[in-house]
Amino acid sequence: MSSARSVVSSAKLIALCTLLSRVTGLVRDILLARAFGLGWVQDAFVYAFAFPNLFRRLFGEGAMAPAFVPTFTRTLEQDGRDAAWRLLAHTLALLTVAVTVVIAIVLVIIGAAWLAAPADPAQAEPRRLLLGLTALMLPFMLSICVLALLSSILNCVGSFVPAALAPILLNVGMIAGIAWLAPALFPGRPTRQVYVVAGSVLAAGVLQVVGLLPALRRHGVPLGWRLSTRDPTVQHMLRLLVPVALGQGVLAFGVFLDQQLCTMLTHVPGGPAAANWLGFTFAYPLSEGALSAVSYAQRLYQFPLGVLVISLATAALPAFARHAARAEWAPWMTEVRQSLRLAVFEGVLAGTLMIVLAEPITRLLFERGRFTPDDTVRTAHVLVYYGLGLWAFCAQHIVTRAFYSVGDVQTPLRISVVLLPANLALSLALVWRPEVREAAFAVSSTVTASAAVIAGLLILRRRRGTPVVDRATFLALAKMVLIAVVTAAVLLPVSAVASTRLAGVRPVLLGRALETLGPLALGTGVFLAGAYVLRLNELALLLPRRRRRTPAAGA
């Protein structure tokens, strides 16, 4: 229990810092919704942000950290600090060169697309807004990838707070751009204001990297730049990095393809009502704002995911890697099981509340300015399906890190390769259905994430000779599902009554807050009470140490 407690303590510290960054991120999203609503301007901004996010997953925290952290940890423990610092210098140089080359290639492609824009200004302007924002945002790739590498270094030396706080600088920079600088420079002109917001992202990205330098100096981490692939440790890391990058790339590319597909199937303002692909003519199934609705729903489900589970996974990976490096397989399995149970516990709790309260949550946070009641309904519809898959999104972080900690980077790649076509096919099949539309991308993500978790657990069982989901873990997961059902049954009528009774309350914000926060508190209380009654071990780990109870056998 002490090892699990250590990981959970680190996760709690990360979660507290992450909570602050997520709150500022929520403020940023609220301001974006008020400024741009569900429209083509916001669609274009989300599309432009997709490129840095894709390469963050390829070269940053998604791929570099799983390949770099175990290698760096092993080098630090077995070969000493000098060897570890050399590895860092080589890695930083390779990362910088790779991302710079990618940026240059994408800029050339964007330039060609800009020249090929339609002659009709009504059709050309939306496309050029999309391309212009994308080109402006590309340099953010470099800063966000370097930030991910430096954050991994700090985590390896036991410093979690500075990296967890770094996103606050990005959010504050964007908030300043949205709320102050953009309106001051281009009042009433959202198509120009959005460029100012994109510029604020670039400036904040640089500040994020600079903000980590004092912490790196305090821990004696030297920042060098040595471009070489001949070092044996670097070669070992690159052998891990390539399949990890491909595996993460498949997952990230799945999200990226969803965004591309959503954009291509959306009717552009001023454009034709039908499209022609490979000789097939069809009406666009999605309307302006579809990508924005998916994006806002993603931000909402990622709030608990980032605060609760990614912080847990960030703290767990070095612990998994240490046990694996020492061949301590029994403690490794205990650590993985407990982390998985915690992740699912938090995912089921947050997902249950999200499903039942999707519309009140969306209305409270976003419905103001250019974000209309119809926009609330569209976004909440997508959010429900992400809520159904939140347990899987949470568990996937732990299962993937379990593979990476033992140097197995091929298995997540294979799972990703198999599931990518299924994800794309499911999105394409559902997007045409009127009752689904843009929610198709949430449905496909939920289905494929669930399949990835199940496949990963089955493979881990075969590789390690013992199941991660043993009898005690299965019983605990079953209890979580039962508690979720009871919580939803209690919350549904309460939420319906609250929405009806509080509809006319003034001021409007007070009514919406009561409509949302009251049921949220009730649902959380019911879920935690159920966990206490059924004596789930996760509740003991999440409470302060002095309140820890010895769990019942099999709990």
pLDDT (mean) for 193-201: 96
SS3 state of residue 182:
helix
Q: Is the pLDDT of residue 551 over 70?
A: no
Whether 154 contacts 69, CB under 8 Å: no
Q: How many CA atoms lie within 13 A of 505 on its CB side?
A: 13
Q: What distance in Å separates the CA atoms of residue 416 and residue 244, rounded to the nearest whole number?
A: 11
- Low-confidence winner among 116-125, 217-226, 280-289, 350-359 (lowest mean pLDDT): 116-125
Q: What distance in Å separates the CA atoms of residue 382 and residue 398, rounded to the nearest whole number?
A: 25
Q: Please, what's the b/e burial string for 318-357 (b: 16 or more CB within 10 A of its CB; e: otherwise)?
A: bbbbbbbbeeeeebbbebbbbbbbbbbbbbbbbbbbbbbb
- Low-confidence winner among 31-45, 57-71, 423-437 (lowest mean pLDDT): 57-71
- Residues 373-382 have pLDDT tens digits of 999 999 999 9
Q: Is the pLDDT of residue 5 over 70?
A: no
How many other CB atoms are there within 10 angstroms of residue 389's CB atom?
23
Residue type present at position 88: L
Place of tokens 């429900």: 384
Whether 453 contacts 307, CB under 8 Å: no
Place of tokens 């198709």: 440
- Residues 326-366 have pLDDT tens digits of 888 889 999 999 999 999 999 999 999 999 999 999 999 99
Tokens linked to 74:
């092993």
Q: Is the pLDDT of residue 107 over 60?
A: yes
- Bond prior to 507 in cis (omega within 30° of 0): yes
- Bond prior to 434 in cis (omega within 30° of 0): no
- Residues 419-478 have pLDDT tens digits of 889 999 999 999 999 999 999 999 999 999 999 999 999 999 998 889 999 999 999 999
Q: What distance in Å separates the CA atoms of residue 250 and residue 415, rounded to the nearest whole number?
A: 9
Tokens linked to 196:
């100012």
Q: What is the DSSP string of 66-95?
A: HHHHHHHHHHHHHT-HHHHHHHHHHHHHHH
How many other CB atoms are there within 10 angstroms of residue 12's CB atom?
17
- Residues 490-516 have pLDDT tens digits of 999 999 999 988 888 889 999 999 999
Which of 118, 142, 141 has the alpha carbon at shortest distance from 130?
A: 118
Relative orientation angle of helices 311-325 and 140-156, to the nearest 10 degrees: 50
Neighbouring residues of 397: CB distance < 8 A, sequence distance ≥ 6 = 309, 310, 312, 313, 343
In the chain, pLDDT over 70 holds for what percent of residues?
Answer: 90
Torsional sign, CA 131, 136, 139, 141: negative
Residue type present at position 251: L
Q: What distance in Å separates the CA atoms of residue 548 and residue 554, rounded to the nearest whole number?
A: 17
- Low-confidence winner among 58-62, 102-106, 162-166 (lowest mean pLDDT): 58-62
Which of 72, 219, 220, 92 has the alpha carbon at shortest distance from 149?
A: 92
Q: What distance in Å separates the CA atoms of residue 96 and residue 322, rounded to the nearest whole number?
A: 28
